[in-house]
Structure 1
Amino acid sequence: MQKLLLGLFFILPLFTYSQYNISGVVLDENSGEPVIGATVELQKTEKIAVTDLDGKFSFSGLPQAEYTLIISSLGYGTRTVKFSLPGEETFEILLSPTAIEIEEVIVSTPFHQLQSDNVMKVERATVEDLNRTGALNLSEGISKIAGVETITTGSGIGKPVIRGLSSNRVLVYTQGVRLENQQFGDEHGLGVSSSGVESVEVIKGPASLLYGSDALGGVLYLNPEKFAPVDSTQIDLAGNYYSNTLGYEANAGIKTSGENLKFLVRGNYAAHSDYETGNGNRVTNTRYDEWDLKTGLGFRTTGYSGDLRYNLNSSRTGIPEEIGEQSTSKEFQEPYQQVENHILSLDNTFFLKNASLDVKLGYSFNDRMEFEEEHEEEHEEEHEGETEEEHAAHEEGEAALEMHLETLNYDVKYNFPRYGKFETIIGLQGMHQTNRNFGEEFLIPDATTTDFGILATSHYHLEKVDFQAGLRYDHRNIDSKAMGEIGSEDFRSSLERSFNSYNGAVGMKVDLSRQLSSRLNLATGFRAPNLAELTSRGSHHGTNRYEIGNPDLENEQNYQLDLALEYRNVHFEVFTNAFYNKVSNYIFLSPTGEIIDENAVFEYVQDDAELYGGEAGFHLHPHPLDWLHIESSYELVIGKKENGEYLPLIPAQSVLNTFRTEFKDNGWLNEAFALVSLKTVFDQNNPGNFETWTPGYSLLNAGVGNTFYWNSTALELRISGNNLLDKTYISHLSRLKPDGIANMGRNIIFSTRLRF
């Protein structure tokens, strides 16, 4: 594999060092007047220009290559302009006035286009917008996106659910590389802080073509914050206080950029006590804290762009079992888990003659430890003959479970020169992963996983029609070691399995009129069974069940049809998105009716399944009242097995209605906002075979904020609140639901941020 990757560099065309300059003017399409202060971004190079008083801009020192300009300005529709050098070097760009908010480039899809130009429907939200809604953390924030929900364990643990699929079926990308952190387990968190994350993109549906196995249900793509503009330095300090958990959060960042070299660093610390339900009870041991450090180094030259990033995320989270001692302490008590994630990534772009080569390399290290009261109690008899000192030395500070997961991955894509209306990309992706156990207990055995995939995808652009299609082949090999004593209850025999799959996707976007567009996509995806599903045998204290794996499980394979319609004019936007997802060999836990070690026994089995439903909504922003926004979205997912039984952990139908106002540069109202939202969740009357039905509820949320400026200093003040009516409710996706423990009650968040 290393020889193959090295070979790519020798067979590609030689770099060119010829340099070119371009210039242009941005004009109002209706009046012909210059658009002052428009942002002009040269895609991939991260060069940014702002139009002057005459609407003019320019870039210099560009190598021979193909480029895309992204032109945006408040009050105008965003435009893209593609060109090649040598070739056209002067541009006249017309922007159409509109009240529609500025569009952003979608990074998670292969051709990095605006959403309005994209064949795939991708949901995008900035972390700033999610924070305005009063989200406690990133997991809670993404549940504001239509079609996305979260499986929770208390307030500190959340796993994304995309259209009813979760855990290993949803792949998370951060810093441009896949996040590997034992994601099969729903009893630990996402492992990424919203600190230092600029935006979130969600691909709903199979994305195996782009990302391989584990993208069966979709992709959550986290875009890191950008570097500072050239020849500038930015510093910011922020803090939050959370009334419900008596929690606090501190954040600080600095970034500076020269012509070629860029640097940033950001740190964040948060700590929370046990959360309080609507009926006034504090849920014992839901406290958690989190350290997060992110740093980046960027380098830009004429023919190269590099981005080196590192993230350390360390969290401790209590594992709730019942409502007991009422406390506001932040001191940890057993059982709790401690998880550390280290992520190192290097994103390279080489600009070649009319082409480019993208090389992403990633290394991640996940250290997962669990400390349990049962650990010492269960071993008292084993150490009966030892002295007190010997027993203490053997047990003190020891984790009952400790797993180290190391992952190396690569993603290489060659962007061919455009041929007429065609754009084509070929790529290689792979992963080498090792899992090692160091505690007395283990969930999954020591094992090595190796992935390799090759893909090709093309995009064909016409004036009113866009086509996109691609094919991919993947191979995964899993090799696990035998663990435990032969004949014992927790013995795991060795296992070696290989999984292969061919997948493809085809899609079309049609502009039926200037305001109305449609998208039709058909894609296949697959997921190889994970180690837990193949090898589990024993009590899983985090979930209070005894799990039995199945070494004969086969690939999950799915086929999804997705249809989207969108209408947009200057006052109004409306969308509808329907999907049908057929999954062969769907893997799930099924109760056997037995009890072992006081835990119910569940075994992994397979059956064909189908999921269907969709999202719909509208956004009203009447002109000239551009500051007023009325939004509503609806989501529905139904999941069934082939025998007609309903799948577990399927979110209930819900409607989110939002009324918000935004003011920019309006007297003392600078970046001011106010919003009120009501989320209504309907009864979940279709539970899985070991679930119970869940009654519906409505949650009222609100927020208000403003930014005050003094020369180059900005002070942001914000107050937001969730569940303002202090409703006592239980989410169907809460893992505390079987114990009758309610979700969080009223939570008021006070936020401040100082920018220099």
Structure 2
Amino acid sequence: MKTKSFLLSLIVFFLTLNKLVAGPNPVTTITGKVTDKTTGLPIEAAEVSITSLHIGVNTNSKGMFTLPDVPKSKLLITVSRLGYKSVSMPIDLNAMSIINFEMEPTTVEINEVVVTGSPIQGQNVRNSTAISVVSMKSITSSGATNIVDALGNVPGVSQITTGGAISKPVIRGLSYNRVVTLSNDVKQEGQQWGDEHGIEVDQYSAGKVEVLRGPASLFYGSDALGGVINIIDPVTSPPGSFKGQFITNYSTNNGLTANNLQFEGNYHGFVYRMVGTYKNAMSFATPSERVYNSAFRENNITGMVGVNKSWGYAHLTYSRFNTELGLTDGQRDSTGKFVDNEGNTVSHSELESRSLALPFQHITHNKVALNTNIALGKGFIKTTLGFQNNKRMELEDSPSVPSLFFDLSTYTLDSKYYFPEMNGWAPVIGISGSIQNNRNKGEEALVAGYDSYALGAFAYAKRSWDKLTLDVGLRFDTRKMNGMEEYQFMAFNNTFSNISGSTGLTYQLTDNFHAKANIGRGFRAPNIAELSAQGVHEGTFRYEVGNPALKQETTLQLDGSLGWDGKYFSSELNGYYNMINDFIYYQNTNNEQIDVNGILYPVYRYIQGNSVLKGLEFSFDVHAISSLHFENTFALTRGTNTDTKQDLPFIPQAKLTNELRFNIPKEKKSGLTGSYVSLSIDNNFKQTKVDPFESSSGGYTLLNAALGTTFCSKSGHEWFTIYANGRNLTNRNYIDHLSRFKEIGISNIGRNITFGINVPISN
């Protein structure tokens, strides 16, 4: 209770502090012009933004822009436009307020500005950790069924899939509670220990997604050993504006219909945003069959209201993610056809039905977040208060009475103070904390109910010279977990504490050539499944046994990269060596089995062992012709238990992707812009480095293609965008190594073509 009282006191303290410092601050109005560096002509519709303040504006037909009521301090200003390299500059607004930018044409984005992995924003080449940026346009046109699926082409990122609807992120071989997902600056909490539990975030609500590969415990505490997926909201509209969009998609494989409507505005500093999404799909089809009871439906809503003032901003956001997903158990009759939960052979009409059969799961995730960023002297304080409630029900025998019912509530606080620069150093200090309560409300239970309390504090500083950037940081975390005595579980009380830290360097050897190095130490406390699991539930094919005596994991990772950004080609090579002490994973030994209601399940027990994960990511992009470029990426991960000399389980297959993309130049009198066509090949190599209880997986190759264009007026005003994205066009029959359906012999999704249209709305 002392921890809970302390955390509540911190919340009150920071709310009071925010109110106290929200007084008048010196402000200025930024004006300027954006032009093409080659031609000198003005660039229309370039976005000029200050991400730290959540504000932005587009240039007019003369390339001019105005940003009013900006605090007089040193801020990073970013300019971006499709077809140009992004430009970012730290500007001291005490000294200047008229700023002009020149942009270089390019077909490849090589200068992205990122915020993930560092409280200090900056260009990607100035960040010592490996970060990839996925734009909203890429997410929308990808044809993905969920946010994780849309990140599948990021080097080093894989996914554990359960059919066509559920995906869990895997970064460099690490997943579950070793990867943190941030949405609206709130760490997503929704039973992420489970295989068949996806991420409860609407993919269409994202402005962009940044993926950090490597340990990030320094900034996000325990659970960020593998990396971070940061889902970032769009910047708010400029004063006096109103805009939105309507998106609709249709996928041929499972008949998925996805519709999204969103709008936002800014009325004299009062800002608002509304996002609504509805999805519905029947069961997906492999090249040989349609998989019974893999249908799903989803409806989401997000609303934000807030104020943008000279002192900063305050935004209050509410979101509700609601989905129902069929749970395929793979049961068949003597002829190999699927049977329902009563043993009856499934008909063709049932396979193509959009209705859900038993068993299925129903998830509702409600989240409220208050985000503030307030100027304090020449620095500013950024605070996020969050509340989440995740209700996850598994319905086996009745569509209304759940067999399993997890009810998880989480309260979070995260606050950082950004000091003004001191002799070139940019320091940041921060605290974070959470209170979490998980309750079992069903007839059965797989994990114990529990209460969890966590606190953390860190200090960080970054210094940039002409060519060199150095960043250092240190963090302390403590987490207490109290398990309840209920159902088949015994009570337990565990406390985990440790120190995290990192040091990173980047060096710009030439204008085109850069090098990065980072050493980071992190830790992770065991999750509730690892500590207490005892049982089997629908959607899984094993009986899990936890261990309350597990130790915390600690890791030391070495990371390095070399990159070249040239006129005709760009490339980057990342290598890492991750040493994890007391790595936790489950294993089936001696073919142990248990009988549950007449069905034999393999028994998986959680064990620990010192381990190493190592690998590399390589990208190479040739663009000798401005409109044509050839992108290539390769990722390889190897995992070994150094105590037993055995391979670790669930390590993704090595993957090579080759994409040829042609951006069709816009003709002066043409009503089309942004036109493209691409052809890609995904080569997934066989995986023979497996744990003794795993089976190896064969390699496979998929052929994909995409095309799209935007219709616009002669003045350049966008009317609508259409696109098509085809996956597995040859209808290849394959089973990915990380597919959970591999255990029951069900293949991955077959040929799938997604057609979509995006209609912008503006005043």
Same fold (TM over 0.5): yes
Alignment partner, residue 341 of structure 1: 365
Q: Structure 1 stretch 259-268 or stretch 21-30: which is displaced more?
A: 21-30
- Relative distance call for 1:617 and 1:687 in structure 2 (3 A) is same
CA distance in 2, matches of 1:208, 1:348: 23
Alignment partner, residue 333 of structure 2: none
Q: Paired residue for 1:467, among 458, 467, 470?
A: 470
CA distance in 2, matches of 1:456, 1:293: 36
Q: Please state how far the C-alpha of 1:237 moved relative to its aligned partner.
A: 2.2
CA distance in 1, matches of 2:376, 2:672: 47
Q: Please state how far the C-alpha of 1:121 moved relative to its aligned partner.
A: 2.0
Q: Which amino acid aligns with 2:170?
A: V
- Relative distance call for 1:74 and 1:372 in structure 2 (3 A) is closer
- Relative distance call for 1:29 and 1:226 in structure 2 (3 A) is closer
Alignment partner, residue 440 of structure 1: 443
- Relative distance call for 1:33 and 1:192 in structure 2 (3 A) is closer
> 5+ unaligned residues in a row in structure 1: which ranges?
374-394, 485-490
Q: Which amino acid aligns with 2:561?
A: A
Answer yes or no: is the 8 Å Cα contact 2:329–2:539 preserved in 1. Answer: no
- Relative distance call for 1:73 and 1:333 in structure 2 (3 A) is closer
Q: Paired residue for 1:285, among 264, 268, 293?
A: 293
Alignment partner, residue 350 of structure 1: 374
Alignment partner, residue 479 of structure 2: 476
2:85 paired with 1:83: no
Alignment partner, residue 593 of structure 2: 595
CA distance in 2, matches of 1:479, 1:125: 39
Answer yes or no: is the 8 Å Cα contact 2:56–2:235 preserved in 1. Answer: no
2:250 paired with 1:247: no
Q: Paired residue for 2:223, among 173, 195, 214?
A: 214
Q: Please state how far the C-alpha of 1:568 moved relative to its aligned partner.
A: 0.6
What does 1:288-307 align with in structure 2 at a 5 Å threshold? Answer: 288-307=296-315
Alignment partner, residue 148 of structure 1: 157
Q: Secondary structure at the match of 2:125?
A: helix
Q: Paired residue for 1:721, among 709, 723, 726?
A: 726
Q: Which amino acid aligns with 1:683?
A: K
2:500 paired with 1:494: no
Q: Which amino acid aligns with 2:499?
A: Y
Q: Structure 1 stretch 120-129 or stretch 99-108: which is displaced more?
A: 99-108
2:749 paired with 1:744: yes
Alignment partner, residue 334 of structure 2: none
CA distance in 2, matches of 1:129, 1:539: 38
Q: Which amino acid aligns with 2:544?
A: E
CA distance in 2, matches of 1:22, 1:739: 61
Answer yes or no: is the 8 Å Cα contact 1:26–1:35 preserved in 2. Answer: yes
CA distance in 2, matches of 1:586, 1:668: 57
CA distance in 2, matches of 1:416, 1:546: 51
2:254 paired with 1:265: no
Q: Secondary structure at the match of 2:592?
A: strand
- Relative distance call for 1:445 and 1:660 in structure 2 (3 A) is same
Q: Paired residue for 1:618, among 617, 620, 623?
A: 620
Answer yes or no: is the 8 Å Cα contact 1:16–1:64 preserved in 2. Answer: no
How many aligned residue pairs are there? Answer: 726
Residues 671-719 of structure 1: per-residue CA shift (max 9 Å, x gap): 2221111101011111212111111010001111122235856122222
Q: Paired residue for 1:564, among 547, 557, 561?
A: 561
Residues 566-585 of structure 1: per-residue CA shift (max 9 Å, x gap): 10112210111000011100
CA distance in 1, matches of 2:440, 2:499: 33
- Relative distance call for 1:644 and 1:134 in structure 2 (3 A) is same
> 5+ unaligned residues in a row in structure 2: which ranges?
1-5, 331-336, 339-345
- Relative distance call for 1:226 and 1:729 in structure 2 (3 A) is same
Q: Please state how far the C-alpha of 1:58 moved relative to its aligned partner.
A: 4.3
Alignment partner, residue 380 of structure 1: none
Q: Secondary structure at the match of 1:692?
A: coil
Answer yes or no: is the 8 Å Cα contact 1:100–1:570 preserved in 2. Answer: no
CA distance in 1, matches of 2:246, 2:57: 27
Alignment partner, residue 683 of structure 1: 686
Alignment partner, residue 368 of structure 1: 392
Residues 618-651 of structure 1: per-residue CA shift (max 9 Å, x gap): 11222xx322221000000001111211111101
CA distance in 1, matches of 2:690, 2:650: 8
Residues 543-577 of structure 1: per-residue CA shift (max 9 Å, x gap): 22222111110001111111111101122101110
CA distance in 1, matches of 2:237, 2:10: 36
CA distance in 2, matches of 1:5, 1:407: 14
Q: Please state how far the C-alpha of 1:90 moved relative to its aligned partner.
A: 3.9
Q: Please state how far the C-alpha of 1:434 moved relative to its aligned partner.
A: 0.1
Residues 349-397 of structure 1: per-residue CA shift (max 9 Å, x gap): 0012110000011111000000114xxxxxxxxxxxxxxxxxxxxx772
CA distance in 2, matches of 1:188, 1:22: 46
2:527 paired with 1:519: no
Answer yes or no: is the 8 Å Cα contact 2:653–2:684 preserved in 1. Answer: yes
Query: Over aligned residue pairs, what C-alpha RMSD do you find?
Result: 2.2
Alignment partner, residue 659 of structure 1: 660
Answer yes or no: is the 8 Å Cα contact 1:654–1:681 preserved in 2. Answer: yes
Answer yes or no: is the 8 Å Cα contact 2:640–2:646 preserved in 1. Answer: yes
Q: Please state how far the C-alpha of 1:76 moved relative to its aligned partner.
A: 4.6
Q: Which amino acid aligns with 1:41?
A: S
Q: Please state how far the C-alpha of 1:135 moved relative to its aligned partner.
A: 2.4
- Relative distance call for 1:332 and 1:90 in structure 2 (3 A) is closer
Q: Secondary structure at the match of 1:677?
A: strand
Residues 446-487 of structure 1: per-residue CA shift (max 9 Å, x gap): 210111000011001100000001000000000111012xxx
Q: Please state how far the C-alpha of 1:661 moved relative to its aligned partner.
A: 2.0
Q: Secondary structure at the match of 2:182?
A: strand
CA distance in 2, matches of 1:74, 1:339: 37
What does 1:382-421 align with in structure 2 at a 5 Å threshold? Answer: 397-421=400-424
Answer yes or no: is the 8 Å Cα contact 1:133–1:701 preserved in 2. Answer: no
Q: Which amino acid aligns with 1:3?
A: S
Answer yes or no: is the 8 Å Cα contact 1:558–1:583 preserved in 2. Answer: yes
Q: Which amino acid aligns with 2:661?
A: R
2:455 paired with 1:452: yes
Q: Which amino acid aligns with 1:477?
A: K
Q: What is the TM-score normalised by the length of structure 1?
A: 0.92
Identity level (%) = 31
